[in-house]
Amino acid sequence: MRRAIELSINNIDKGGGPFGAAIFQGDTLIAESANSVTIDNDPTAHAEVNAIRLAAKKLNRFDLSDCTLYTSCEPCPMCLGAIYWSGIKTVYFGNTKADAAHIHFDDQFIYDEIDKPLNQRAVKFVPLLQSEAIKAFEKWEHTENRTEY
């Protein structure tokens, strides 16, 4: 946890956001990263997502269920999704989402949006070409040698 906090503090001087994350497999540090949204001009470059990407690449697998994530702040909705998809079972965090909201990193609007019907969200969601898009799902469903995840 101290490493994640150190990354979050040092990242401010580099022009990034005040967030850091470290992934361990047992006692071994597998990957660490800080938020690089403004550095990389990448809205998905949150510390947790960056660390998950690095860990998966280093371990050469997408299943990180034997890993633990330490993050300087309670994960946002995007990072929470990445954590679940990676299979990580335990997350330790420092600051809370209320602490983040206090310094204007407030994700409550996203949590609120998720519960709204599509036609009431702030971002317009329009179904399009579903009868064509479904062909990929049908092919997936009938592919015997697919990799489940």
Residue with tokens 């009938």: 142
Q: Catalytic amino acids? A: 48
Cβ contacts of residue 31 below 8 Å, gap of 6+?
22, 23, 51, 52, 54, 55, 58
Distance set, CA 116 to CA 31, 47, 108, 111, 120 (Å): 36, 28, 13, 9, 6
Amino acid at 79: C
Q: Report the SS3 class of residue 64.
A: coil
Tell me how far apart the alpha carbons of residues 107 and 115 are, in angstroms, rounded to a whole number: 14
Tell me how far apart the alpha carbons of residues 77 and 51 are, in angstroms, rounded to a whole number: 16
8 alpha-carbon distance from chain centroid: 16
